[in-house]
Structure 1
């Protein structure tokens, strides 16, 4: 054999084809196990060299199973034999662990001095202090240096272990080296030197073999697969195998036999194969376990080893009678465990799953149940106990349900909704009281709304149709949750069935307490109010009879009725004061402290937006948001954030609206929304993008397909309005006019007459005016002004006056002054500023175009309600209107159309002599935003500052 001391003897060998072109390097299985073992081979070569010079040595090689420690010992044995050193080899096996001196017999059988006398050495060895053949072996070693190689010493029988320990104590007296291997880690390996005087007269070495590095794994890939592997492929092999040389080799050979190539397209395949190989190795090790107690403890460790301390694991396995030291040694001998920070851990999830899968199903479920109960008594982590309960049989104890619900809450806090659903679904397998069961079902449905909205709708429908007083008390909350999720069809059907069957009083028993009758009546009112919210607002075939929702009572017992009545009053636009009063009543705390429904309170907040009580609306929205966060209801959080985004749009703050929409997307991802809610979210996103100047992004969102049932709804009409705004931005008045008119027909069909919802009439009028049809332009504009004055909100009146002023030459200045006066009392300061600019332009003799007057990112508070006739969901949510990108004023200098609306407003106010801080307060933006806008104005207009700005904009200064 060649000398392989310090040379890189593990490099792949190059084979050449005829003509000198090399094949891909090849490695035998043995060479693969010696990859990246150059340091260890050099050290063993030095030890063997010193042994030839008479210096004894003791070398222990440890590593995980498959690390190649035995192959390294065999290499050393071959290397020593080439140097004329006597080599004796043995290997401990599980079959010989009960055989006295089994390994000693293997060692001595290879020495010529014991050939004829070996059987007699092991007779009469019961007396203490006798070690068969040890003295003769030491004598023979003095004549010729001897190397003893013992593989897998962790499986030694007790007599052979004592014999080797005695040999280690005598090493200084003979040119003899002992080389052993073990799968134990270095810090818990056998202490051969304990109590011996080996202090410089013998070499002692401990080698812990690591796994392959990325470079070594890449070499193995090239050798086995015949080509260089992609970086992603090599990284996947390292991650899937842990760099274990045996697993790497077996995985790559099986991967190559399957005909795959080591590239990024086959990363999944190599991961699957690596898992199969690891599982087969684990199964083989399990099959080698002979002691049932060790197997029980190993199973217990696989189930809860990361959750409980080792003594508790032993107690769970029922192995307390076996000494812990023996258990530890036997477990380490299995090769299925690792030791980290003094704790036993199963070697990876694949091995853990294989150990558990080997158990019969009944025993597996029982072990998990007992482990969960022990972990509960030990006050372990809730999610850890929940994971045990997921695979356990029902335990029939109240602590299990409480733990699973707490684990679901912890999972939701961590953003793991799928785990929360699993915990709550498992809780329903336990025997529960009706009250607890309906609460768990509601909690589960609220979580499923985010990841499986259709399944959640079916679950909620089942809750609402379940008989019994406990379920009757929660039907309104279930319907409220269904409406928040956007499934108005399911909510309407379930509510209609409940009311047709008698409502919540269908338990068949008379109320047992004095207040029970009032409580039942209040619940019935809530169901009736929610039915009006969920009433389908799309065309129904004539053959399907749809009974109308009952009228709500004038003196309701439930605040939810006030919220619905407030919204119905607002969408009709008939009595602003009554709508405000009802909305505030709906948002007042319940006298008895009873939790209130969310949908009616959201409708009340929308009503306050229409009445332009924006501060009150924002306060209540913040309270609703805090409540939804506290209860971990992601759908409610998303809905509140969406309504607050609309509020920001109404105040001319599109950047804050975009922030809230982004937060809503995190709570309720777009792919998880119910199909019926698509128009709501799409329209809101389009308007926000337009208001922030992201026209391309708005266009892409508007072009996405919408399910047909969702299009035939109020929110579908508002999506038409948003698309009309986009058509205006694209300078397409024909398409814009058609979209606005269709939008108006849908809104009128659903009873939405209040122009504060959506100013579709003024937008259609402006589109007609741009096309040169003055008659078609003035009629809807005047109608909108009449309806706005009937409603009485200053913002709606101001927008209507501004729009009419842009199309009618008569009384233009008076109308603009009226618009300025009304918008000055509205929350949207940006709309007020635009009116001021238009008035200044008209008074200086200019003729402002239509878009200057009415265009705004949000049309003020009056146009920002973004809700339809009743619902807060996919069917009933209007959209605020953004400013078209091409808006410009003819009264301003010719170069000014290159400015955006925000830049133009800042420039006009700066030309009037206002300071940056005053401009920021007027436009509801930050001072930094004003600075950036003015810098952009100076750059675009090629001027140096405010003095040049005043020259370019005469007539804008204060008189």
Structure 2
């Protein structure tokens, strides 16, 4: 005999069932009373895994103890079409297979003959006829069992059947006892095993493991498995195989084991269900918690009544949640139910579900879940829903989900301009995990052939590539887009500005014959984007400070904020830093940063914070610079920058820590920074200058000089002459060491002074640069330290930031007045003054004027 469900697994040879005392007592009393009491008709009805077969097995054991003869049979789906299959099993168990009527006999003759065989056996010895899983009984056997049930009053017999109601198709009429002609009655009972309680689960697991079970684990197991004995048996078996103790610290294993058990049960259930129920179960698996009865009915092409009846039957599987919208308790179970479908049929089913969900206004989370598993639906609403849900996932930080949604959106047909937007969105989502893929998506935007409606996406993609530092590949792509005749004037100006911004960062990156020619920027551009880049070019060349201010203000005007690429506005902000208009630059940076944070544009936010750090350094606030750089690193970790840009934040960090007197941290900031391909970019000049300053502070004059001169070469190759950007000449002069008048150091200092005058730098910048020059000049003119040295005993001079604080202090200004004048925190003024005292070898404020020499005297 084979049984489908063998019980609750008492473990270690035990036979007692858990929380089934009432059922066992009833069976025992009925079996013990067969000799002199009534016959019995008992049906055990329950869902999969509820323990129906375990109770049948227990009845077999109790019958043996009561002296009742037992014959058993097990119906199965595979034999459900076999004529009199159950009857033949029971005849064999009775030991009288030869008493079977000829197969070609009339059914009425066969039924009557079979009934007489079993009645005769019962009259000799009380008989238990037990049939498991009668939902699979063949029609001929079921007709005979119904006849045998009507004859139960004629002999001491119990007819015990088990039935999984969810699997039964309702084609079999119920078993009914007949009227008594002998005075014997029939006791009729239906048993429905209930789920185990938490205490029952704990007891079952304790027996299974042979050790006490943590009560918290038992409660969690009861909740996870729904009190289903067979599921719990599977879980206990898996724990035993892995030697996991049933304790609270193994709850993750419990959750995984229950999920796997649900999957296995769902696979077995799906294999056994009739087609109409399986179709409904698959529809529920596809729709999930968003499936209304109407949606399920539409997917199965049945009416609402049939669907409701099917759902009610499927509730008995224990796989589904309760309520108006049934769904699977466990996603793995849903996957198992759909596994029998081929990939194409499964995708078609999901696509149909998505269409119904769209018409039913299902939320985007549910609709897109269906779309992710569906084949192409070819509808605009699908793309819109996928993009909206991707934006929501991105906002909550689930970038992986957002990327899946946008990749799926790209499978749908759409207008080129819409496809370009999706590529821009996808680039932002994958930036943190795959910067190279992010750039690839942006390049795809610029390669998309479209009409002028794609202009904003072209501008955004080009601006993001430039901002992140991918200036080499973006130039020919921008030139290709500009070659389109249908780009509108505003977008054309923005693209041209970005082209020349990239060109200045990496001159001659592509041969001019490899791309269409791009018109140069006008001398006085009216378009804000072009004005911002032109301002930066003027500032770098160190020519016409007033024109630079005017151009930068055009780019940063309120009316230009929403139409000018952030990269061009950030260039304008950097130009204002070199003109000394810090307040204007800072206000514009705040506005750019707020917009970038709202839109989630990491490269723009990161670069804005880096420029903010530059502003802090120019104003002598290295602490604020470090804070800005820390924020930039959070927004854009080092791996997110293109190699062409990566050296810049490292160099600025080194300069900030150097200004704070922390040479060791400054050394670590520039140590080993050499991204492949970065050596020819403008950002590399920042690193060379910072590394040269760090090496100079560490007494490595030769290495410092090499870095600083290379920095100068890179800058001059790009026509960057403005000493306010990176005063490499005075630093290189100091690195030359002692030299005579007219030597290289003096020439460098003289050239720096000349360029500063040409630029027309404000007093605070000009004084700082002149002080650096003076310190370097004194160092190279004499090897003997002055009585009041302008540098610390180590030979390190004051930083520009320290000088900007020390000069007004020497001239009589209070710390608070200096802080107000320089827009600097009072604490920063105090720290810079303390550092200046230490480096100059003085201890009192009154000594500052003498230590600084001419710079410390009041101007006349």
Are 1:504 and 2:473 an aligned pair? no
CA displacement at 1:294 relative to structure 2: 1.8
User: Given the superposition, is the C-alpha separation of residues 165 and 424 from structure 1 closer, same or farther in structure 2, using an over 3 Å criterion?
Assistant: farther
> SS of the counterpart of 1:473?
helix
Which of 327, 332, 344 is the aligned partner of 1:350? 332
| 1:273-422 correspondence to structure 2 within 5 Å | 282-290=266-274, 292-334=275-317, 337-339=319-321, 343-422=325-404
What secondary structure is seen at the aligned counterpart in 2 of 1:345? Answer: coil
CA contact (8 A) 1:649 1:858 kept: no
> In structure 1, which of residues 692, 696, 709 is the aligned counterpart of residue 677 of structure 2?
709
- Whether the 8 Å contact between 2:435 and 2:640 is mirrored in structure 1 is yes
1:595 is matched with which residue? Answer: 563
Asked if the contact 2:552/2:575 (under 8 Å) is kept, the reply is yes
- For residues 475-503 of structure 1, give each alpha carbon's deviation from its aligned partner in whole angstroms, at most 9, with x where no partner exists: 4443223212321111112133445xxx2
Instruction: Say if 2:538 is the partner of 1:569.
Output: yes
**Are the counterparts in 2 of residues 733 and 770 from structure 1 also a CA contact under 8 Å?**
no
The answer to whether residue 555 in structure 2 is matched with residue 586 in structure 1 is: yes
**Residue 198 of structure 1 corresponds to which residue in structure 2?**
none
Call closer, same or farther: CA 1:786–1:331 in 2, change over 3 Å: same
Once the two structures are superposed, residues 685-720 of structure 1 have per-residue CA deviations (whole angstroms, 9 ceiling, x without a partner) of 544566678766655553345343212221112122
Whether the aligned pair in 2 keeps the contact of 1:920 and 1:930 (CA below 8 Å) is yes
CA distance in 1, matches of 2:207, 2:612: 54
Q: 1:585 Cα shift?
A: 0.7
Give the Cα separation in 1 of the matches to 2:6 and 2:602: 57
| 1:780 and 2:748 are equivalent in the alignment | yes
Distance 1:325 1:630 in 2: 47
How far is the alpha carbon of 1:296 from its aligned partner? Answer: 1.9
Q: Distance in 1 between matches of 2:13 and 2:730?
A: 82
Segment of structure 1 superposing worse, 450-459 or 110-119: 110-119
Task: Check the 8 A contact 1:420/1:447 in 2, yes or no.
Answer: yes
CA deviation vs aligned residue, 1:525-545 (integer Å, no higher than 9, x gap): 433332221227558699986
Q: Provide Cα deviations, 1:306-342, integer angstroms capped at 9, x if missing partner.
A: 223344333333232553453124323555x232567
From the superposition, tell whether residues 497 and 399 of structure 1 become closer, same or farther in structure 2 (CA, over 3 Å): closer
- String of CA shifts for 1:512-570, please: whole Å, max 9, x gaps: xxxxxxx8455444333322212275586999868986431134342211111100100
Q: Secondary structure at the match of 2:397?
A: coil
**Alpha carbons of 1:454 and 1:318: their partners in 2 closer, same or farther (altered >3 Å)?**
same
**Aligned with 1:490 (options 473, 490, 515):** 473
| C-alpha distance in 2 between matches for 1:589 and 1:699 | 41
Distance 1:465 1:611 in 2: 38
CA displacement at 1:362 relative to structure 2: 3.4
Q: Give, in angstroms, the shift of residue 571 of structure 1.
A: 0.4
- In 2, are the aligned partners of 1:151 and 1:181 still within 8 Å (CA)? no
Alignment match, 1:863: none
Contact 1:81–1:87 (8 Å) recurs in 2: yes
> Given the superposition, is the C-alpha separation of residues 744 and 288 from structure 1 closer, same or farther in structure 2, using an over 3 Å criterion?
same
Deviation at 1:105, TM superposition (A): 12
Does residue 1:854 correspond to 2:837, yes or no? no
Separation in structure 2 between the aligned mates of residue 216 and residue 700 of structure 1, nearest angstrom: 59
Distance in 1 between residues matched to 2:470 and 2:740, nearest whole Å: 43
- Find the residue that maps to 1:553 and give its secondary structure: coil
Query: Within the alignment, does 1:132 sit opposite 2:156 as a pair?
Result: no
SS of the residue 2:583 aligns to: helix
Distance in 2 (CA, whole Å) between partners of 1:650 and 1:720 is 18
Which structure's relative contact order is higher, taking Cα pairs within 8 Å and 6+ residues apart? 1
**Pairing 1:808-819 to 2, within 5 Å after superposition:** 808=777
Please give the secondary structure, in 1, of the residue aligned with 2:484.
Answer: helix
Q: Which protein has the larger Cα radius of gyration, Structure 1 or Structure 2? A: 2
Following the alignment from structure 2 to structure 1, what is the Cα–Cα distance between the partners of residues 602 and 437?
16
Structure-2 separation of matches of 1:217 and 1:783: 91
> How far apart are the structure 1 equivalents of 2:822 and 2:58?
83
Structure 2 equivalent of residue 631 of structure 1: 599
Check conservation: 2:6, 2:53, Cα contact below 8 A. yes
Contact in 1 for aligned 2:609/2:629 (Cα 8 Å): yes
Counterpart CA distance in 1 for 2:207 and 2:766 is: 74
2:521 pairs with one of 549, 552, 557 = 552
Q: Deviations over 1:646-701 (max 9, x none)?
A: 33344444554444444444444433433333223433454456667876665555
Q: Which of residues 418, 436, 442 in structure 2 aligns to 1:436?
A: 418
Distance 2:585 2:192 in 1: 78
1:208-247 equivalences under 5 Å are 244-245=231-232, 247=234
| Range moving further from structure 2, 628-637 or 31-40 | 31-40
Work out the CA distance in 2 between the residues paired with 1:324 and 1:209. 37
Structure 1: tracts of 5 or more residues without a match: 1-28, 167-172, 187-205, 223-230, 261-266, 508-518, 813-840, 861-901, 941-950
- Indicate how the Cα distance of structure 1 residues 725 and 858 shifts in structure 2: closer, same or farther if over 3 A, else same: farther
C-alpha distance in 2, partners of 1:622/1:526?
A: 22
Q: Given the superposition, is the C-alpha separation of residues 651 and 210 from structure 1 closer, same or farther in structure 2, using an over 3 Å criterion?
A: farther
- Looking at structure 1, the residues matched to 441 and 398 of structure 2 have their Cα atoms a distance apart, in angstroms, of 20
Work out the CA distance in 2 between the residues paired with 1:362 and 1:800: 72
2:573 aligns with one of 605, 620, 628:
605
- What is the correspondence of 1:165-204 to structure 2 with a 5 Å cutoff? 181=193, 186=195
Per-residue CA deviations over 1:588-621 (Å, capped at 9, x if unaligned) read 2458x97222221110111111112122112212
Cα root mean square deviation, aligned: 6.1
Stretch of structure 1 that moved more, 734-743 or 607-616? 734-743
State the alpha-carbon separation in 1 of the partners of residues 80 and 169 from structure 2. 4
604-613 or 455-464, larger mean C-alpha shift = 455-464
Equivalent residues of 2:43, 2:163 under 8 A apart:
no
- Give the distance between the partners of 1:86 and 1:931, measured in 2 at CA: 102
Q: Distance in 1 between matches of 2:278 and 2:791?
A: 91
Post-superposition CA distance 1:210-243 (Å, at most 9, x none): 8789997996999xxxxxxxx9xxx9xx99xx99
CA distance in 2, matches of 1:159, 1:357: 28
Deviation larger for 666-675 or 611-620: 666-675
Q: Which range moves more in the overlay, 607-616 or 306-315?
A: 306-315
Q: Distance in 2 between matches of 1:645 and 1:281?
A: 61
Counterpart Cα distance in 1 of 2:439 and 2:649 = 19
How many residue pairs align between the two structures? 768
CA distance in 2, matches of 1:214, 1:482: 63
Q: Distance in 1 between matches of 2:454 and 2:269?
A: 57
Q: Specify the alignment match of 1:719 in structure 2.
A: 687
1:747-786 matched pairs, under 5 angstroms: 747-769=715-737, 776-786=744-754
* Partner SS for 2:321: strand
What is the correspondence of 1:609-688 to structure 2 with a 5 Å cutoff? 609-687=577-655
- 1:581 Cα offset (Å): 0.6
Equivalent-residue separation in structure 2 for 1:294 and 1:601 (angstroms)? 63
Contact between 1:97 and 1:155, CA under 8 Å: does it hold in 2? no
- Distance in 1 (CA, whole Å) between partners of 2:45 and 2:819 is 71
- Give the 3 Å change call, closer, same or farther, for CA 851–543 of structure 1 in structure 2: same
- TM-score normalised by L of structure 1: 0.65
TM (norm. structure 2) is 0.71
TM-aligned CA distance change 1:63 to 1:407, over 3 Å: farther
Change (3 A) 1:300 1:178: closer
